[in-house]
Amino acid sequence: MKHFKRMKKILCILILSAGFVACKKETETPKPTTPTATTNPNLAANTWIHEVMSYYYLWNSKMPSISGTNTSAKSTDYFYTLLNDYGKTDRFSWIDESYTNLQNQLNGVSTVLGVKNNAFYTDDTKTSLAFVLAYVLKGSPAEKAGLKRGDIILKVDDQTITNSNYTTILSNQTLKLGLGDFSNGAFVSNGKSVTVTKVELQTNPILADTIIAWSGKKVGYLAYSQFLTSFDDSLRAIFGRFKSAGVNELVLDFRYNGGGYVVSSDLITNLTVKDAAAKVGKLMNKKVYNDTYAAYLERTSGTSAFETLFKSEPNNLGTLNRVFVLTAGNTASASELVINNLKPFMEVILIGENTYGKNVGSFTITDPNKRWNFGLQPITFLTANAIGESNYGTVSGFTPNYLLADNVLPYKTLGNPSETYFSKALSIIGGVAYQANSTERVIKYTRTLASKESFSDNKWLDRKDMWMDPK
C-alpha cells in the first residue's frame, strides 16, 4: 500500500513537470531575427552608366528604362545591355575597365609585336593557313627582328596555323615565329624562325610615302594606318613635299586604316580638297546628336557645335581634280569620313574592296568624381557631308569603282609602283598598265584569303572607330 502511494506521488510529479515544460514551450516567444540586408555593389556605378548613356548615347530613345535592367550586373557587362540592337545597328560602342588603357588604345599605344597580317589558305583543303605580313610598324620588335611586308609566317610556337586558332595564336607575350617562302605558287617552310617579345609601342601610322613620275604626271602616294593627332604635323610635312614636287595626282592608301581622331581626318580633307582657298569657312560636314544632347549644344554653342568648316592649310595641293583611295574591309570610320567629306567637291575613285561601313563616332565618358576607373566609348554622333549625304553606314560601306582583292602574291612593298593596288591606280592615271623594269617582273599568283580583313597581333589595333573630344 505504501509502495502504491509512493508510485502515485512520483507519477503526479512527472505529470506536473511534463505539463510545466509543455506549457513553457507553448508560451515561449522566439527571439526575432534581423534579416540580412542584400546589398548591390554595382548599383551606384550602373545607375551612373545609365544616366550618362541616357544623356549622350546617339540611340538613347531605344535604351531600356533603368527599372528594366539588371543593375546587379558587372558594370562592363551592364553597359552592353543598354545598346541599341548590339552587334547590328550598334556594332561599335565599347567600354574598358581601365580608362588609361582606353586612352592608350585611342592614341595608338599598345603592347605589340607590330605586325598586320593577311591570312591565306595554304592549299585547297582550307585547313592550314599562312600569315602574310601586310605591314610592319616602324620601331617595333618585329621590324627589329628583320620582318617586313610580304614575309610569311607558317607556324607560331611550333603550332600549325588553322581556322580555329588563327585569331588567337599570336596572343602570347613572347612568340616563336616559323617562317616560310612563297615559291612557284606554294607556301613552303624555309626552316628559319625568329623569337620576338611584345613591347609597349607608340604606333607610327605613316607606313609609306613616295612620289612617282608616270605618264607625264607627278603622283603622290601615302599609306596611312590610323588618324592620330600626334602625327598631324608629319602629314603636313608630307603634303608639303608633295606640293613642292608638283604632285598633281594623289593616292591615299587606307586599306589598313580603321579610323582615329576626327580632327585628323578633317586635316587630310583640308590638305586634299580641290580649290581649298575658296572653301575656307564653308561647310565640310555636320554632326547629328540625340535630341537631349543636341538641345544642350544648341543652347550653349549654337550651330558651331554641329558644323565643321574648311580651314586654311598652306600645304593643300590645290589643283587636284580627283583623288584615288585604296580600300579594304579594314577601311573604316575616319577613313570613310575623308571619302565622304571629299565627294561633294571632287572625284573620289575607290580601288579595292567595300569599306567597313561606319558613319558614326564617339567620345570618351569617365566619372568626373573618379569613383570608378572604367571608360565608356559609346556612339554619340553621326556624320553627314556638306550636302547631307551619310548613306554608307551599313555592312556594305562604300562600294569601290574598281574591285580588287589584296590576294595577289608575292606582295610588293607599299609605295612600289608594281604593288597590285598602287599599280591599278597608276594604270588609270596613265591609261596603260604600269611597266616594271625587268628586274621587278615576277610571276604573280592569286591565292584564297581566309578573311577579307587583315588583323594585328593585338586586337585593340584593329578597332574601327572615330572619336573626338566632347563640346
- For residue 113 the three cell numbers come to 609585336
Q: Is the separation of the CB atoms in 341 and 348 below 8 Å?
A: no
Collect all residues with Cβ–Cβ distance below 8 Å to 65 and sequence separation of at least 6: none
Residue intervals in the chain for CATH 2.30.42.10: 111-202
Q: What is the pLDDT of residues 168-212, one digit of tens each?
A: 999 999 999 999 999 999 999 999 999 999 999 999 999 999 999
- For residue 222 the three cell numbers come to 601615302
User: DSSP states of 415-457 as a string?
Assistant: T-TTSHHHHHHHHHHHSS-----TTT----EE--BS-SS-EES
Phi first, then psi: give them for residue 253, nearest 5 degrees. -95, 100
Q: What is the pLDDT of residues 380-437, one digit of tens each?
A: 999 999 999 999 999 999 999 999 999 999 999 999 999 999 999 999 999 888 876 6
Q: What is the bridge-based pairing of β-strands 347-352 and 402-403?
A: parallel
Q: What is the pLDDT of residues 77-118, one digit of tens each?
A: 999 999 999 999 999 999 999 999 999 989 999 999 999 999
Residue intervals in the chain for CATH 3.90.226.10: 206-467
How sure is the predictor about 29, in pLDDT bands with cuts at 50, 70 and 90? Answer: very low
Collect all residues with Cβ–Cβ distance below 8 Å to 272 and sequence separation of at least 6: 250, 252, 316, 317, 320, 323, 338, 342
More confident residue, 438 or 284: 284
Q: Is the pLDDT of residue 37 over 80?
A: no
How sure is the predictor about 440, in pLDDT bands with cuts at 50, 70 and 90? Answer: low
Number of residues that make up the chain: 471
In terms of CATH architecture, what is 111-202? Roll (2.30)
Residue position matching grid coordinates 605589340: 112
Collect all residues with Cβ–Cβ distance below 8 Å to 77 and sequence separation of at least 6: none
User: Across residues 361-374, what is the average pLDDT?
Assistant: 95
Beta strands in 83-166 (DSSP E): 94-96, 109-112, 115-121, 129-136, 152-156, 159-160
- pLDDT for residue 438: 52
User: Across residues 227-249, what is the average pLDDT?
Assistant: 97
User: Across residues 119-135, what is the average pLDDT?
Assistant: 95
For residue 413, give the 3-state DSSP assignment.
coil
Q: Is the pLDDT of residue 32 over 70?
A: no
How sure is the predictor about 439, in pLDDT bands with cuts at 50, 70 and 90? Answer: low
Give the integer Cα–Cα distance in Å for 364 and 103.
Answer: 9
Q: Is the pLDDT of residue 378 over 50?
A: yes
Q: Is the pLDDT of residue 9 over 60?
A: no
- Which sign does the torsion angle of CA 168, 106, 87, 325 carry? negative
- pLDDT for residue 19: 42
Domain at 206-467, CATH class: alpha beta
Supply the pTM of this predicted model. Answer: 0.90
How sure is the predictor about 463, in pLDDT bands with cuts at 50, 70 and 90? Answer: confident
More confident residue, 92 or 4: 92
- Chain mean pLDDT for the chain: 91
CA distances from 34 to 31, 37, 40 (A): 10, 9, 19
Order of strands across the sheet with 322-327?
206-214, 217-224, 249-253, 322-327, 347-352, 402-403
For residue 262, give the 3-state DSSP assignment.
helix
Of 72-76, 221-225, 248-252, 442-446, the one with minimum mean pLDDT is 442-446
- pLDDT for residue 459: 84
